[in-house]
Structures are given as structure tokens and as C-alpha cells.
A and B are shown apart, each in its own frame.
Chain A
Amino acid sequence: MSHILKVIAQRISLGFLTLFTISLLITFGVELLPGDLAESILGQGATPETVKVFRAELGLDEPAHLRYLNWLGGIVTGDLGVSLASKREISELVGIRLANTIFLGGFAATIAVPLALFLGILAALFRNTLFDRAINTFTLTTISFPEFFVAYILILFFAIKLGWFPGISNISTDLSFGDKLYRTLLPATTLTLVVLAHMMRMTRATIINLLASPYIEMARLKGIRPIKIILRHALPNALAPIVNVIALNLAYLVVGVVIVEVVFVYPGLGQLMVDSVSKRDIPVVQACSMIFASVYILLNLSADIISIVTNPRILHPR
């Protein structure tokens, strides 16, 4: 048990180091972009005089490394800072958007993960039959299409032609849970179609691989039913690689869905980040990237722990 704790502690400290490196990279990356917030916000209305006043107001006339250190000091004490553009507390601004993104990601995950496992197991069971080939072709097709294309096709059929679902998914806080589910079904379906292939095919491949092992042959010789062989003997050993793939896709569901957000006009974190980068609102960009990086790190950590726990050889090292 202490072995696991040691692993977790190692990983978390590595995680912090990663976060620190990312914050440096992102900050200086955005600094390198032409223009700054004052010019971006004033747009065509920027004149040297007005830009100068705006900059002084925002403290942008301080050198970059000083501003970074200030921000770092704030973050360590839990203060995400204030948006340069709107002076709103970033924690409040990001909080709502993060909740929305997690809602959509969670919704998509609840559909995608069980479906992928189910289909993967079936495909392994009926490998090389027509069913298997059909499922593979279908999921590979949906993952190959760009997300906005899948989104538009779904909108065309289900929102416009059939009218079963709304064409845009702008949710607000006063909607009921059921309403939210209804309005976000189309984007959740889009995301599901996009992540299905990876998880399903990994499941299928790992199980098929294991089905060639001697102990499975033994189980078959003993007369155990195929489905029980897969669920009780093959799947537990297949969990490690499958869980890694699931973690990767879950992270994508939170971090990589800005295109779906734009197409469905869904108020999530991706849209916020794109807007902030184009306006050079650095504190918001930093906060968003910290959140995204943390999501990746945490999910990978969980995947690693589950891999260890399901593998007795690593769990109880000699």
C-alpha cells in the first residue's frame, strides 16, 4: 500500500513541476504574439494616446517577468487574479465556464465510455465477422471526420429536418437539469462519435491479444462460456491499457472541444480561452491553461494508479 502512496506522491510533485513549466511557456508564448490587450480591445479605435492610458490602467507597462512573478505569487495562495479586460474575478469567470465544460464532458463520457467498452467487448467476441467489421468501419469514419462536420450533420438531421433537438445549445444557469441534458444532447453525441473509435478499438485489441494466452485456452478447455471468459478472465487483465486510453480521451473531452463549443454556441472553457488569447488577456489564458494542464495530469495519474492496482505484480513488488 505504501508503494502506491509513494508513487502518488512522486507523480503529484512531478505534476507541479509540469504546471510550473507550462505556465512559463504559455506566458512567454502569448507575450511573443504581436500586440497586447490594450491594442486588441480598442481594435480599430486604438491611437497611441488611448493605448498608453489603457496600458497604464492595466499595469501593462510593467516588464513581463515582473508581471509573471506577481501572478505566480497570487496563484500559489489560490488567487487566480482578475481579468485584464473586464476586471472580473477570474475564479468567478472561469468557474461557470468550467462547470459547463465538465457538464458537457461528463455527459459525453457517460455515454461514450460504457458504449465503447460494450462495443469493444462485442467486437472481440464476434471478431472478424460482419458485425465486427461494420463497427470498426463506422467508428473509424466518425473519428476521421472533422468534429464540426459531424456536428453539422447531426444538426442538419436532428435539429433542422426532424426538429427533435434545438439547433444551438446555449444553456444558462436557470435551466433545470433535465432541460440542460436535452439541450446538450447533440453536442454530447458529437463528442461521443469522435472519441468512440480510440477506446473501442483499444478494448477490442487488448482483449483479442489476451485471448491468445494459455490461461484463456485453459478456461475454454474447462468449458466456460465465451462471455464469462471475456468478462471474468480477460477484461481485468486488459484494464491497464484500456484505462490509459480512456483517461486520454476524457482529458480531450474537457480540453479539446472548443470547435464543438463554437458550432453549438455552448458557453464553455474552450471558447473563453480562444477569446482571451485573441484579446491577449494573459491572466485568463494562464488560468485556463493551468486548469487544462491539471485536468490532464490528474486523469493520467488516476489511469496510472488504476493500472497499478489491477496488476498484482506491480502492486506487491518483491
Chain B
Amino acid sequence: MDKKIDKIKEQLISGKITRRDFGQFLIALGITGASAGTLLSWAERNAFAASPKRGGRLRAGIAHGSTTDTLDPAAYENGFMQGVDYAIQNHLGEVDHTGAMKPELAESWEAQNNAQTWVFNLRRGVEFHNGKTLDSDDVIASFQHHMGETKSPAKSLLKQVKNMRRDGKYSVIFELSGGNADFPFVASDYHVPIKPSSGGKISPNDGIGTGPYVLNEFEPGVRFFAKRNPNYFKEGRAWFDELEMLSIVDPTARTNALTTGEVDTIDRADLKTAHLLARKPGIVLKEVTGTKHYTFPMLVDVAPFDDNNVRLALKYALPREQIVEKVLFGHGVVGNDHPIAPSNPFHASSLPQRKYDVDKARFYAKKAGGVKVKLSAADAAFPGAVDAAVLYKEYAAAAGIEIEVVREPNDGYWKNVWMKKPWGACYWGGRPTEDWMFSTTHYSGADWNDTHFKDEKFDKMLIEARAETNQDKRRQLYYDMQKIVSDEGGTVVPMFANFVFAAHKKVQHGTMAGNWMMDGNKFHERWWFA
């Protein structure tokens, strides 16, 4: 029943049916009374009076972009290139507004052999911008670009793929080194778009894909311009005729561009002035809670952070609410010292929320024999990191804990400070699944395990949960893992930051996805002009 309701909700949002039809469907399904009322008011809020219309040029001001960007998927390094990727290319699957995986270039997939073998069945008749039809060779070549001898950051992600082979023209079989129930998420990572291949290789810089927009002009760090792909295989998507993305790194310039009408939408609204922006006539501020979070990771194999009493003392001395108020200006939620977001499917919502507690902090500090530490921070870690660190220092002093805040230079932060200094600051975009997030940060052998966390029991549970198909067992395993990380791990997670962006009121959309900024960074194909 739920599936049927979801289906008609989708049709309403994509404009295939009107609100009147929606109401009729509800009656036909036998939904009346209070539940119908809720659904109808949902329809009121989410299906705008005008259903999606074709036309117009969307101009977007993006906070990222550098003159060193290239079209090579192995070098996608910032939000601008991710937006470009989703505009001109597609992946095997995509994350929808509920955080679930939906088919994109693969029309279906199935797990075999305890989720250790995955079969992806490709859509037929999909054409690349150069006319070539999509087939399994393209998929295999696109994945191989990131495997073996490669500079791609997706290399460690794809290490789990032992073998890939085609099963006819429209089917690809992946053999993994271990069971992974979440493999479709991995296979749809933004680093791995499907590109046309020739002789088993892709041309990484050709800018050709199956995507909703065809690349017209690309000036790295300045401007990306594309025109609508008339052959786009998805129905109900890609409403704009033209797409223009401008790289506007300076926050003031970006805000000005929106308020003076130079662009129709911007990402990363400046948090300090977001409330003023929201008040401007004609501008709508948009906010989505996703998986983005900011952390203060400690190296648990370096003194004094190797003593869990020190770690707990610092976790209790953290003024979470105040940091969300002062650094995020209220645009976020407090974290519970583990990297799983409220929007993740197996979030441990019943795990007690740790709060700022001077007595407990003092207690653990005493057990540790006093806490006197240095915290390295720079705004390169996350905007407001230095402010957050200073706030932390002031509140921790009330519990007798001494924190010395060391301001590091932004330049070279990721090389010299992160994972080098014993205690620093970091940000994570987050991952759509618990397994992916934990495998990236807390698995003992992970490249980006920035706390050097090593727990055999945790590793075992991680691998067990990965292949577990029983949802309740999975939920219990992930609950336990979140508890372990929160109570014994080395990372302090003060907050999950919302995605805050803005658009002119003529820009319309349905319920937005929370996996990346701006509706999963697929704003160009999901939004339309009123």
C-alpha cells in the first residue's frame, strides 16, 4: 500500500498527474479521513500550483570551482565539478529524496551469493551525446578508469570489486571480495559516471555522457554552459532549456549575484546573513538536513588521547548546542560523537544524546589525572572551525580542562594538519549508508580513518552487517557500532550541518534529496521555472 502511495506521490511531484487526480487516486485506494487529510496537505505543499514547465535558462552561482578543474572523473574534487558531472553524465543508480537507491542507467539489479555477486541490468536504447548506444562495455571501461594504476580517489572504494564481466550487451556482473548489501550505493558514487568507451577505454576529458544536458562551453573555475539533451532517457526530468553554472567563490559576491538577479539560485548561502537573505522579496531560503557533519578527530594511538578517560572528558566538555547556535546560526542539529546522521536509515535515535556536562567532564578528567591538550583548527576544515574551537576551550575551562587552540594555515591543511596533528578539525559530506560511512572512517584499515581507531569487534560487526539482509539484525548491529564509536571512539562530532542554499521564488521543485547540496546536486534536472 505504501508503495502505491509513494508511486502516485512521485507522479504528482513530477507533474504527471494533477492534485485533483491525486485526490481521486486516494479515494480509489480507500484512503479517507485523517490520513487522506495529511496526504492532501502534503500535496498542497509539495506539488506547486503549476506543474513542471519546460523552458528557460537556469543560472546558478556555485561556491566552488577552480581554474585547475578538469572533466576527468578521476579528478572531480569539488562541488562545482560534481554538479557538472550530474548535468552531463549519469550513473548506474541515483539517491532519491528518501535516501533510497533508485535505478538510473541500470534498470534493475539483484544480489546473489549472499550479496557477494551483483548483477546490474542496463536500460536499453540509451544514447550518449555522441550517438553511441549504452552497453556493458561502457560500464566496465568507466569503472576500470578508477581501478588498478589510477590517481582516482575512488580507487579505495572500488577495491572490493574483485572481478567485473559482461553478460551480454546489457548486463554487468560484479564479483566482490565480500558480501555488501549496499553495493548499489557504491556503484553509483559520483566519481564513477558511465562514459562512452572505445577499445575498452574511456576518454576521460571528452565531456560526453548520457546526461540531461549537453556540454557546450567549459571554462574551469569560471563558467559551465550546457544545452538540454533532446534525447534524454528519463521522463519528467530536465525542464530547463539551458543551464549556466558560474563559479562565485566569494560569499558576498554570490549573495549579490542572487539579489541583483544575475543568477537564479546559489548554493552555500552565507550563514551569518542567511536570515537577512530570507527576508528579501523574491528570494526563498532553502534548508535540508543531510549527512554533512563537522568533527574534531583525535588520534587514539597518541598520548594523551590514548586514554579513553581523556576522550570522554573532552566529549562531555563540548558545548554542542552553543556551537550549533553560534557557528551554524541554528542551521543544523547536534551530533552524538558518531558519524551517522539522523537521515541515515539505521541511525541510532534511541542512543542517549550526550550533552554538555561539567560534572561528568570533571569526573573523567580527574580519572585521567588532568587534561591539558592542544586543538589544531583552521577554517579550511569547516567554516567557523576556529570559532567553534575557541568556544570549546571556554566551556571546557569550566570543568578544569585546558585546551590550547592552535590556528593552522588554510593552505596545506589537509596535508599537514589533518591526520598528522593529534587533535584537529575535519568535515565530512557524509555517506548515504552506515556501512559506507563506517568503512570510510572507522574500519581499522581505511585510508581516511582519521582517529586511527582499531577495534577488532567493531571490524567484525562491520563486515557482518554489510552482508546482513535481515533489517532488524542490521539495525541492532549498527546501533551497537554507533554506541562503540560514541563511547570509545576518538572523534568528537558536535554537529550535523544543514545544506543551506537559496533561489529566486520562480524556481520550483519537489521534495528535495539530502545526500548533497542543492537536491543531491541534481538541481538542474529536478527543478523548473514557474
A interface list, Cβ under 8 A from B: 33-35, 37-47, 49-51, 53-54, 57, 83, 85-87, 93, 96, 152, 155, 159-160, 163, 166-168, 170, 172, 262-265, 267, 271-272, 275-276, 278-279, 281, 284
Contact = CB atoms under 8 A, between A and B. Distances in A.
A274 to B, nearest CB: 9
Nearest to B249: A262
B348 interface: no
Majority-rule SS of B interface residues: loop
Nearest to A86: B70
B6 interface: no
B146 to A, nearest CB: 10
Contact of A163 (B223, B260, B414): B260
Given A34-B416, A275-B67, A47 B221 contact: no
B445 to A, nearest CB: 12
Interface string B300-333: 0000000000000000000000000000000000
B9 to A, nearest CB: 36
B153 A45 contact: yes
Contacts of B69: 85-86
Nearest to B250: A262
Contacts of A284: 67
Sort chain B's interface into a size bin. Answer: 35 or more
Contact of B152 (A50, A87, A163, A278): A50
Interface stretch (B180-188, B251-259, B498-506): B251-259
Most buried by B among A39, A46, A50: A50
B415 A34 contact: yes
B253 A42 contact: no
B404 interface: no
B68 A265 contact: no
A167 B75 contact: no
Nearest to A174: B217
B38 interface: no
A87 B70 contact: yes
A276 B256 contact: no
Given A163-B260, A262-B250, A272 B415 contact: no
A167 B260 contact: yes
Nearest to A170: B246
A142 to B, nearest CB: 20
9 contacts: A41-B68, A53-B151, A167-B262, A168-B246, A170-B222, A263-B252, A265-B246, A271-B221, A275-B67
Contact of A49 (B66, B155, B222, B415): B155
B273 interface: no
Interface in B245-282: 246-250, 252-253, 256-257, 259-260, 262
A281 B220 CA distance: 14
B252 A51 contact: no
Contacts of A278: 66, 411
B447 interface: yes
B506 to A, nearest CB: 18
Interface in B153-170: 153, 155-156
Interface in B424-453: 447-448
A54 B256 contact: no
B77 interface: yes
Most buried by B among A35, A39, A44, A46: A44
Contacts of B78: 43
B257 A281 contact: no
A46 B414 contact: yes
B63 to A, nearest CB: 12
A184 to B, nearest CB: 14
B150 interface: yes
